[in-house]
Every structure is written in C-alpha cells, then in structure tokens.
Structure 1
Amino acid sequence: MITNFVLVGLIEIESFRYVCAFLALALFLVTLFVGSMIVYVTWTDKNLHEPMYIFICILVVNVIFGNSSYFPKLAIDLLSGCSTISLTGCLCQSFCIQLYAWVEMFTFTAMAYDRYLAVGHPLRYNSLMTNITIQKISLAMYVFNVMRVIVSVLLTLRLTFCGVNINNVFCEIMSLQSLACSDITINVIYGTTSTLSVVIVCVLVILYCYIRTVVICLKLSAESSQKALHTLMTHVLAFSIYVVTFLFVNLRYRLNWGSVSKQVDVIIPLIGTSIATTVNPLIYGIRTKALREKILCNLQKIVGKPKE
C-alpha cells in the first residue's frame, strides 16, 4: 500500500529552489501583514463595523488560511530539498486548499449580494443585512463547504494508489485521483457535479447582482454612482482573478491536456495559485479608501511618523 508521494513539481523547479523559496516566503509574509492590518483596523475602528468591511475581513482571513496551507510548506520543502509527502499530509493539504477555494467563492457571492442590497435597497439595507445575518451566512457557508470537502477527502481515502508522482508542488484531490488504480467513477461524478453546480449557481448570482447594481447606479447621482461603481469594480477585479485561476487548477485534470509539457503543467498552476492566494488583500487594501487610510495611519504610528 502506497503511503508516500513525490511532488514532481518541486523537482522540476529544483534549479530555482532558493529563488522560489524566497518568493514564497515573501508573498506569504506580505499577504499575512496586509491581511492582518485589514483585520486589525476593521476590528478596532467602529466606523468600519459594516457588512462590506466584515465580508472583506472574512475574505482576508480565508486568504491567510489558504496561504498558510500552501506557502510555508512550499518554502520549507524547497529549502530542505524534500519532495515527498505522506498520504495523511497530502489529504490534509488538499482539504485546506479546497476549503479555502470554496469559501472564497461563497464569500464573493455574499459580497456581491451585499453590494446589490446596499445600492438597490438603501432604506431597508440595515434591516436586511444585520450582524446576525452575516454570522448566519458565514456559519452556513463554512459548514456547507467543510461537509462537501470532507466527502471528497473520504472518497479519495478509500482509493488504492498505483502511482506516486504528483505533477504539482502541492497536493490536491484530483492529483491523487489520477494516481488511483481502483475505480474513481464515484469520485469523478461527485467532483464534477459538485464543482459545476456550485460554480454555476454562484457565478449566476454574482452576475445578476453585478448587472442589477450597474443598472441601478445609472439612475443615481454622479457622486453616488461613482462611489458604488468603484466598489463594484474592486469586487469584479478580485473575483475575476480568483475565478480564472480557480477554474484552471480545477479543470486541468478533467480536460486532460496531454500536449502540455510537464514543466508548463507545473509552472502555470504554481503561478496561478500564488496569484489567487495573494492579490485579494492587496486589492482591497489599496482600492478601498477607508481601509487604505486606516492602514496608512497605523503604519505611520508604528514608524513613529506623525500624520500630516
């Protein structure tokens, strides 16, 4: 019975392992710092205790969780020259990365709906989107996605594996399934059905909310419209980057791109996953005016420079 696997992606980038390890640590620390600052200023400033900023915090905390399951291990493996991982470790990393990805998708959906309510129903917004409602939404999406990912992990755990080479720098459920010599029909049906159904529903809800928000913005005053559209464009930018990399990583095994070289097959998801798990805190930290000003103010206090 095979209990250890080889992360071929680590071997493929062996020549650049120190550079890649430095970049992995740098991206992790930058994301951790910016994300922590966003959470801190939102937590300490009562003016930011609004649904939009709370959802941004949920998104940022989830990104930190995803980064923590990906970058530290990548850097340690590259620096130590280790390219193997146990089945238990592989399943744990797969669980964390999948949970991060699905919670991210649901959070974007909740944020789009929140912005639609704020613009489309301003008078009823405070009663429709309360702190209790946010707590219920957050709890529901975590419970739902934890259960979905657990089922996926358990279906993979029952498999018998004939191969050990995982063509990636990290573990994911589909990479393990591709090494199985037992029947994976149930796994494929569950994975494909679950992925497509959730993605389609979430994307349709997001598109509906975006379109309705834009239509409503066209009827508002120039100042109100500009503010709402700026917030909307921030969401669109962050979601677009996420969904492109998410779909590629999830569909590349199902599409069976045999003509793609092993190096390209490793490098593209490496870059894609790195981008998807780092840019969102930077986007919201830079493009959200209230957060940007609070973060800069706190940084000035840290370095001892008075705000001018």
Structure 2
Amino acid sequence: MNSTFPTFSYFILGGYLNEGKLTYFYFTVTILLYIMIVFSNTCVIVVICMNRSLHEPMYLFLCSLFVNELYGSTGLFPLLLIQILSDVHTISVPFCFLQIYCVYTYANIEICNLAVMSFDRYIAICCPLQYNTRMTTHRTFVFIAVIWLYSSVKFLITLSLNLRLTLCGNVIDSVVCNNHLVVKLACSTTRVNNIYGLFGVIITIVVPLVPILFSYMRILKVCFSGCKQTRQKALGTCAPHLASLLNFSFGCMFEILQSRFDMSAVPRVMRVMLSLYFLIIQPLLNPVMFGLQMTKIRNACKHVLGCKTLAGHRGN
C-alpha cells in the first residue's frame, strides 16, 4: 500500500494571536524600532565610508557588522509588520525558507565578524608594532569576504537538505520561520539534517570561540601585566566589543531555549520578545555602543552633521 503525504504551499505561523486594539500599538512600536535600526546603522556606515581616516581594519570590520545588522533586520521586520496587521498569519514556503536563510546567515556572519574583530583587537593591543603589517587593508577585505561567503554556502546546504523533506504539517509555533521547527514537521527521515545541523552548530560555536578566547586571554594578560594607562586603554577599546558579544550570545541562547524547550509557563509576549531578541536588540544597540565609545566615529559623526548644518544655514 502506497503512503501519501500532503503537500503544502504555505506555512501557518502559530505564534500570533489576534490582539484587538493592541495590534496597532505593536505595529507602531515595531515600525519605530525598524526605522531606528535602519537610520542608526546607515548613518554609521555612511560616516565610515565618507571619512578616509576611518578606512582602517577595525572600522572596516565595524562597517561589515553594521551592513549585517541591516541585512538581518530586513529579513525580519517587513514580514513581521505585515503579519501583525494580518488576520491570517501564513507565509509561502519559498518566503519561509528565504527568511530562514536570511536569519541564520545573519547570525553566523555576526558571530564570525565579532570573532575576527576580537583577533584584530588582540594584534592592536598585544602586537602594536606589527599591526600595520599583519592587518593590512587587503587582508581585512579577505577576512570579510570569507565570513560572508562561508556563511552563505553553509546555509545554502541547510536549505537544500530542508527542501528534500516531506512534511506532515505546516503549523510553525513561532512568529518567524525557524529551521528547527520546520524540520520537526517532517514525515520523512531527518537523519542527514540532524547530523549536518549538529555539525553546523559545533562549527558555528567552536570556530569563532577559538579566536575570541585566545584573543581575550592574551589581552587580559597584557592588562594585568601593564600599567594603569595600558589597562584603561585596552578596556576602553574592547568594552563595546565585549558588550556586543555578550548581548548577542544571550540573544541566541534565548532563541534556542524558545524553539527547543517547552516554554508554555512563560507569558506569550515574553516568549516572542526573547525569540526575537538577537534580531532586534543587537542591531539597535551596536551602532550606539560603538558610535559612542569610539572617539573617531563620534567625532566623524559630529563633523558630518556639523557640515550639513552649516551648509543648511548658508543655503538660507
């Protein structure tokens, strides 16, 4: 007897509930967050690109980080805004897989970018005389290209494995498409997906973790053995990077807990916020943390805004 399985052209996002009057409040808050993310990240990218004194490895890595924030936010917010106002929370299969690809490549690029930035800070603090020869502009662009290419190829393989699955259902208990939840809907064997997924998680964690731990162990050694001025300079340089790294790590941990464990005891709004934390708070805080902490970026922003203001007065 031949077994037949239903085929689906769309997924139902089961994380949404009709909120009545609160719908427009959630929509307003969400669109304001998106505008703030786009504006702040775009401003810093423009400032870095326009100011030749910021065309250094550290700021080029930051530019890559901010471009990734825009990329990840674009993979989330437009669909989220549509779904908040919609009465039927469905998404076509191709768009669902596209969102999975965007969200997961964003997360992988983010952690890899932060890892390379930690290595850059290690060379700048521990080997300052060799910095210009070891971290050239060409090598910086190679690092950035490898990060983006590696993340893109890695999750193209994940998508190709998902496309071969036969699904038993089409209800995803989330407000966004989630790879783990899609695989759980499969009727066919998921052994290859699970093996590749486990391998991918290990690589995603171990590969960035090695340079991060190595870099900060050496930086801490310099801090403890150096003078007070050296410690202050090192901590001042690394503080926004460490804050961004910890914030992103906690956000990813919240998302993993939400998608893999029973969180029914937690209020639904809180569950949604925790699952989207790394996609909202990280892009929102990064330009603020790095922009305020790094003197060159802060001064360049003031210079650009000052020039625009002056030009506006002259025009009047």
How high is the TM-score relative to the length of structure 2?
0.89
Taking the aligned partners of 1:285 and 1:4, their CA distance within structure 2 comes to 41
- Contact in 1 for aligned 2:255/2:276 (Cα 8 Å): no
Structure 1 counterpart of 2:262, from 251, 257, 262: 257
Query: Match for residue 8 of structure 1?
Result: 14
Query: Is 1:201 matched with 2:230?
Result: no
CA distance in 2, matches of 1:298, 1:46: 13
| Unpaired runs of at least 5, structure 2 | 1-6
Structure 2 partner of 1:172: 178
CA distance in structure 2 between the partners assigned to 1:117 and 1:176 by the alignment: 42
How far off its partner does 1:166 sit? 1.2
Distance 1:12 1:139 in 2: 43
Closer/same/farther in 2, CA of residues 24 and 221 from structure 1, 3 Å limit:
same
- Residue 128 of structure 2 aligns with an amino acid whose one-letter code is P
Counterpart Cα distance in 1 of 2:91 and 2:51: 43
Aligned equivalent of 1:109: 115
**For the residues of structure 1 that align with 2:202 and 2:122, how far apart are their CA atoms?**
24
Which AA in structure 1 matches 2:223?
C
Moved more, 84-93 or 70-79: 70-79
Deviation at 1:302, TM superposition (A): 3.8
Moved more, 70-79 or 230-239: 70-79
Does the aligned pair in 2 maintain the 1:4–1:85 contact within 8 Å? yes
Partner of residue 295, structure 2: 289
What is the letter of the counterpart of residue 246 of structure 2? Answer: S
Quickly say closer, same or farther: Cα 1:56–1:14, change in 2 above 3 A. farther
The question of 1:88 aligning with 2:94 is answered yes
Q: How many angstroms apart in 1 are the aligned matches of 2:194 and 2:259?
A: 11
Partner-residue secondary structure (3-state), 2:91? strand
CA deviation after TM superposition for structure 1 residue 80, in Å:
3.8
User: Could you say which residue in structure 1 is the equivalent of 2:25?
Assistant: 19
Residue 184 of structure 1 is matched in structure 2 by 190
**Contact 2:254–2:277, Cα closer than 8 Å, also in 1:** no
CA distance in 1, matches of 2:236, 2:50: 25
Superposition deviation, residue 6 in structure 1:
1.1
Instruction: Name the aligned partner's letter for residue 96 of structure 1.
Output: C
**Percent identical across equivalent pairs?**
29
1:134 matches 2:140? yes
Alignment partners' CA distance in 1, 2:158 and 2:199? 12
Q: Indicate the residue corresponding to 1:232 in structure 2.
A: 238
Shift of residue 261 of structure 1? 5.2
Q: Is the Cα contact below 8 Å between 1:167 and 1:266 reproduced in 2?
A: no
* Residues 277, 164 of structure 1: alpha-carbon distance in 2 compared, 3 angstrom cutoff: farther
**RMSD value, Cα:** 2.1
Taking the aligned partners of 2:111 and 2:18, their CA distance within structure 1 comes to 30
Q: Which sits farther off after the overlay, 290-299 or 151-160?
A: 290-299
Map of 2:63 onto structure 1: 57
- The residue type paired with residue 257 of structure 1 is D
The Cα offsets for residues 224-277 of structure 1, whole Å up to 9 and x where unpaired, read as: 4312211111111000000111133235434x3365457254342134532233
**Match of 1:212, as an amino acid?**
R
* Counterpart position of 1:212: 218
Q: Distance in 2 between matches of 1:157 and 1:278?
A: 33
Q: How far off its partner does 1:81 sit?
A: 3.6
Of the three residues 69, 80, 91, the one matched with 1:74 is: 80
Question: What is the CA deviation profile of residues 272-306 of structure 1, one whole-angstrom value per residue up to 9, with x for unaligned ones?
Answer: 53223322122212222221222233334445589
From the CA coordinates, give the structure whose radius of gyration is larger: 2
Calculate the TM-score normalised by the size of structure 1: 0.91
